[in-house]
Structure 1
Amino acid sequence: MAYEERTYRNQMKSEDLEYFQVLEFESDLFIGIDGKVNQPMLSQLVLKEVQQLRKAIFDYNITHPNFIESLIPLKADRLAVPIVADMLMAGIMTGVGPMAAVAGAVSKYVGKRLEPYSKEIIVENGGDLLIKTSKIRRIAIHTGNSQFQDLSLKIKPREKALGICTSSGMMGHSLSFGKADAVTVLSENIPLADAAATALCNRIKKPEDVVKGIEWANKIPGILGVLILIEDQLGAWGEIELC
């Protein structure tokens, strides 16, 4: 896959954080941490973590050849390594293949790796976010829909890391069967947030699907909020605070 410059990253920087990029084949992470932390050291630490996570996924696919390509849930595996087990469970809970949770799963373990070194953590992975913050932060929602320009989420301080994952049927290269301009899901289970965003976006093909989509998300344990944008319609549920 060709590298695509992610110009939106120039707009997401917070003045109180220092940022660095970790790039390993398709994995492209943009990370914000406390300014006083040893950034070069953490960059190498995260790179090694990403390499190990990617190896675990590809090794599992060798013994389970359908893992990476499957678009439907696969059975849970109590012998799988943690990242693979997380992806399998997220797929089961949302009705999609395990790779729908890969960005969120990688972010989860990168975030855990960073926790001993920084109180403030932002991990951006393909437009999906993990945020651990003691401050109120504003997260912009980017869509190609002119009716929803300058739309942002207000994220309040919380002790646990929060996943803010977005899927679009109109933008980006990720496979989607829906037509939503953007579907954003909030959860402290970051792989679940990622898989649920994909699954929910697949369900939104017209504005009339918004209500049913919210009802579907409301039934999944661990989902804290959803935002759906399609044409001139906006639907929100749970811990969604727009600003």
Structure 2
Amino acid sequence: MSKILEVNQLSKSYQSGDRHLTVLEEISFSLEAGRSLSIVGPSGSGKTTLLGLCAGLDTIDQGSVSINGHDLSQLSEDQKAQVRNENVGFVFQNFQLIPTLTALENVMIPLELLGKSSALEEAEALLDQVGLANRKDHYPTQLSGGEQQRVALARAFSNAPKILFADEPTGNLDEETGSKIEKLLFDLNQDKGTALVLVTHDIELAHKTDHMIRLKGGKIFESNMLSQTTA
């Protein structure tokens, strides 16, 4: 099976005053198409930084990251944005919906950026798939947290991504709503054949993925294959 994500000897550091802070050190792993991987670890272990580097949202200091065969370290910012537009979906803890747009308009944005003439129809179909067809004309402030995250999921899948990056997708939700979003997330990934990289504090959620990486002090402390079955 082809590798959708390849991370090789990835390191990242920042300068803070007179101090040189190493956030990640020599991180290596890969993820095959259609498979899922969770990244866990205590606060400050580098989870969100790693996710940002893997998605091309931050600049790599050392090592390399490839998404669907594209080496991000060799690309300009515009080229990285193109790779994201064509290959990547995002789900964040705080939803990041545009408050002045309706649920339908939020989902349509990536489709319109791709120049899809069928943006309206595709966005409506995605909202229907996440159970929000009857809420399409509502604004984010008129939706519950769970409904906002459903809109965010629909938007994340609107460009038919080959890989989805999810940063604490249930972190702002109560347990019952979070469980529903988890199920929807995994169901959509399986239905669309999308690879998943999931940052979470929830070990129970992490164990639902095929592969779990545990970070500690910016290094891979533990790496476990949780499932050998093809998704």
Common fold by TM > 0.5: no
- TM-score for the superposition, normalised by structure 1: 0.30
* Higher RCO, 1 vs 2 (CA within 8 Å, ≥6 residues apart): 2
- TM-score for the superposition, normalised by structure 2: 0.31
Higher strand proportion = 2
